[in-house]
Chains A and B, each alone.
Chain A
Amino acid sequence: MTAVQAALSGALIGGLYALMAAGLSVTWGTLRVINLAHFGLILVGAYLSYQLTSAWGIDPMLTLLVSAPALFVVGAGLQWAYDRFNIVEFNSLLVSFGLLMIIIEVSTQVWTADFRHIDAGANPYGTSALHLGPIALPVSRLVALGFALLLMGGGHLVLERTFAGRGLRAFAQDRTVAASFGIDHRRLGLVVGGLAGVSAAVAGMVFALGNTIAPAHAYEWFGTVFAVVILGGIGNLLGSLFAGLGVGAFSAVVAVLWDPSYEPFVLFLAIILALVLRPQGLFTRRAAA
């Protein structure tokens, strides 16, 4: 029973991993920008939710009304800069590593390195849980899963079904050809970068609901979130969603059945194994060449 409980609540944490992975995966897959600064945006999103909730005493979810537009602008601005200086792939990894350092240090100056958490009185989701028989599901994690399903399912449909989504996928495959068919990659890129920022705002808010926040968290997310992106298949939102749930459930079961300190060890070994066996991701169909 503990294993089932662990798997379920782990899968719910996985919803959060998936949310964090979403923006990273899409900008990597479509714009070829590996934006490590995305982790910084998630951190800022979490701090904004904390700050606004503490200052105004509003429901944490309402803070998205401020943080989502703010991070949309930041995300779009970043993408503008990457595009302006033609920074893709390797260079984007380096540049955004530098940006991430800057964001984390500035956050440390503003909010200090201490752990912060949303005051229990202002956070109706923090401690409550939904009871299904013997299994308890924390509400903050259900929120994470809900947002993940909504954003990533929606994003997937947009990429698959709409003209803009097809344009983006075409752009991802061949920039020059896509451009000659009238796809304005600059504008699409700004929108995608902005939406990645919005996903960071949501992920940050959800993280703040159930966890304490500290600048160093941005580094701790690195490993797991990249695992989700790669396992899900780069640029594949639905894949990232499944990978997130799977990784969450897997780590939680390892933590319960074995020892919590084994969690990162087993997880990263699993990632390496997965990379060796299926470098194109677990949830991608093998493309016919």
Chain B
Amino acid sequence: MSVRKGLTSLVGVSLLLAVLAHFNTSLGVAPYLLVLATSVLFWVIQATSWNILSGYAGYFSFGQAAYVGIGAYAVAVLTGRHGVSYPVSIVVGGLLGALLALITGAIAFRLGSLRGEIFALLTLAVPFILAAFVRINRDIDGGLGTTLPLPAFPDWIGDFQHLIFLLMLAAATLAVGTALAVQRSRLGRGLSAIHDNEDAAEVLGVPTFRYKMIAIVLSGALGGLGGALLAVRNGAVQPELVFTLTVPLFVIVMAVLGGRRHWAGPVVGAAFVTVLQDELAAQKLDQWGNIILGGVLVVFVVAAPDGLFGRLRARPWLTVGVFVPVLAGLVLSGQYTELDALLYAMVAAIVVAVVVDRLRPVAASHPVPSRTTAAGTPPAVRTAPPPLSAPQPDSGRDLVAVAGLIRDFGGVRALDDVSLSVGQGEIVGLVGPNGSGKTTLVNLLSGALPPSAGTIAIDGRATVGLAPHKVAHTGVARTYQIPKPFASMTVLDNVAMAVMFGRTGASLPAARRAAADHLATVRLEHLAGQLPAALNLHQRQLLEMARAIAAEPVVLLLDEALAGLNPAEIDDAVAVIRRIHEGGISIIIVEHLLRVLNQLATRIVVLDRGVLIADGEPATVLNDPAVVRAYLGRQRA
């Protein structure tokens, strides 16, 4: 389904809902249902807002209440105390939410070593600060909260309940539409890669900082807008009611329950949880509400971490087949209200979906591969790109030029004044004992770490100080010693990511076609539709290589790409490396197996305790007494 088609259906559904709501009395729908529906829509906005950052990119926020609060207070202060018109104050509410998100993100995501848990706790602090700020500045809300005037609106809308329903519906449509568009866009693919493995995403060229900032600002704007509408609905604002931990609890439960990686997940979750809460209140069981919600959260994280929506979608007929008869049966029996019937039918469908999935876990858990294989190309037809005539080493043009490189970790000097150049068509073997600085050098070349001193130029462009994704765009690609695939994407899409975010960039369909070629180069085409979890170590290493060459680098850094492989696999991997080299890519390979390097490398560079001690022809270097000493230790007389 294309983005446009999805958005069209979304708007259609919203218009239908709006018409239904407008004629609710003539249709015999209880006015009370309109109030409940407005509530559901408010939570759809909040859960969707939360999901755009926390679900797609995996940065969990406990700070949703901050957006709700700042939006609500924008309306309370501007309209309630200064008489500004509602449309203006509501828009300002959304803008302030975006601004708050911008500040939070600028602080949080600038921290290089920020871990997800720290982000979660940092966001936890934001609502506390805002609530304290409101309490300090009594003149913001007059000390006891602010009441709001009833908005003026044209008669054809109906009464106030209709107005607020329509406003919430419009905002929810905007929120869900945004989430849908983001999910289907480059941004969404990038956020998904950040969720799976942020380091790998960045070195493949995903501008992770910018993407996270866009996501958090969208999230803040939608959250603030929803908060502003909440103030209009409630007609009063108090710090205790908007800056409460119930807000993050609700949105997290809704998104986890519904599913975090699809736009529809939070919608399903918000509808279910809100109706459930309402039902509990109606049964005078509201004190059990939070206990049940807490329990649902625990059970779902343990039993169905991918959420309900995925389960329901994997078996749509079963879901509909349970939901519709149960709903019809309960309504026709006449013993239940429509709402009760709806709730019980939802519970029945959910229970069946979860239980069936528990019984047959394998069948439904990977709905993706079959679809992608169908969309991808038949593997057998395509062959590797025609090998170019093996390029001859040409040291006239330096693809990598490193001078005076120093890197300190605390008091330890991992690299000491290393200078090195790699020319077109070379395969340079980088060897040295453990701890000699090989991986540090790879990290500096790929931009993952900044040097303490010295210069690096890739293909003539200085890279020191560039973000890793910019370094990647100068023409460096790397593999990791421990493969870091994107776990939620198929093998084909892992490679397609690298094409999409590589130097030339491409749309997803074009990227998938190119990815199939790269998979053929490493002979993994038969596994294109699998998830990385199904691959063995050797295949994952090959996937790392396919992903790296898909970025169309001029120089490829292979960090111990042969570690842990058996002899047959090593021969296979060596053949792949040769093919990559014949495709015109220069290679720097970190490797301990000197036998392999002896065959493969055109040159060998030796590091010992951070110092470059030899650089030259394999045969010469490997017989150099200093090198032998570094490897085997000084011979004691």
> Which among B121, B124, B135 has the greatest number of chain A C-beta atoms within 10 A?
B121
Give the chain A neighbours of B305 by CB distance below 8 A. Answer: 91
Indicate with 1 or 0, residue by residue over B394-429, a CB within 8 angstroms of chain A CB atoms.
000000000000000111100000000000000000
Is B378 in contact with chain A by the CB < 8 A criterion?
Answer: no
Stretch from B73-81, B109-117, B621-629 that touches the partner: B109-117
Within the complex, the shortest CB–CB distance from B10 to chain A, in Å, comes to 29
Contact at A288–B125, with CB atoms within 8 Å?
Answer: no
Stretch from B197-205, B288-296, B312-320 that touches the partner: B288-296
The docked-state distance in angstroms from the alpha carbon of A230 to that of B115 is 12
Give the chain B neighbours of A87 by CB distance below 8 A. Answer: 301-302
Is A102 in contact with chain B by the CB < 8 A criterion?
Answer: yes
> Which among B118, B290, B294 has the greatest number of chain A C-beta atoms within 10 A?
B294
Give the chain B neighbours of A34 by CB distance below 8 A. Answer: 117
Is A276 in contact with chain B by the CB < 8 A criterion?
Answer: yes
Q: Dominant SS at the A interface?
A: helix
Chain A, Cβ-Cβ closest to B414: A289
Stretch from A56-64, A140-148, A204-212, A263-271 that touches the partner: A263-271
Contact at A265–B297, with CB atoms within 8 Å?
Answer: no
Contact at A272–B122, with CB atoms within 8 Å?
Answer: yes
The docked-state distance in angstroms from the alpha carbon of A85 to that of B132 is 38
Report the count of interface residues on B (CB-CB < 8 A): 44
Is A157 in contact with chain B by the CB < 8 A criterion?
Answer: no
Give the chain B neighbours of A93 by CB distance below 8 A. Answer: 60, 117, 120
Is B180 in contact with chain A by the CB < 8 A criterion?
Answer: no
Stretch from A103-111, A162-170, A185-193 that touches the partner: A103-111
Chain B, Cβ-Cβ closest to A224: B128
The residue that B128 contacts in the complex, of A95, A109, A223, with Cβ under 8 A, is A223
- Which residues A194-232 have CB closer than 8 A to chain B? 219, 222-223, 226-227, 230
Within the complex, the shortest CB–CB distance from B134 to chain A, in Å, comes to 10
The residue that A230 contacts in the complex, of B121, B136, B291, B294, with Cβ under 8 A, is B121
Contact at A264–B111, with CB atoms within 8 Å?
Answer: no
Indicate with 1 or 0, residue by residue over A251-285, a CB within 8 angstroms of chain B CB atoms.
00000000101111100110110011001100000
The residue that A275 contacts in the complex, of B122, B136, B252, B409, with Cβ under 8 A, is B122
Contact at B129–A264, with CB atoms within 8 Å?
Answer: yes
Is B133 in contact with chain A by the CB < 8 A criterion?
Answer: yes
Within the complex, the shortest CB–CB distance from B158 to chain A, in Å, comes to 38
Contact at A97–B136, with CB atoms within 8 Å?
Answer: no
Indicate with 1 or 0, residue by residue over A152-184, a CB within 8 angstroms of chain B CB atoms.
000000000000000000000000000000000
4 A-B pairs besides A91-B301, A265-B133, A280-B113 with CB distance below 8 A are: A34-B117, A89-B117, A276-B107, A287-B410
Residues of A within 8 A of B (CB): 28, 34, 85, 87, 89-91, 93-95, 97-102, 104-106, 108-109, 219, 222-223, 226-227, 230, 259, 261-265, 268-269, 271-272, 275-276, 279-280, 286-289
Selected A-B contacts with CB under 8 Å, 13 pairs: A91-B301, A94-B60, A94-B256, A97-B249, A97-B252, A100-B294, A101-B249, A105-B294, A272-B107, A275-B122, A280-B113, A286-B410, A288-B410
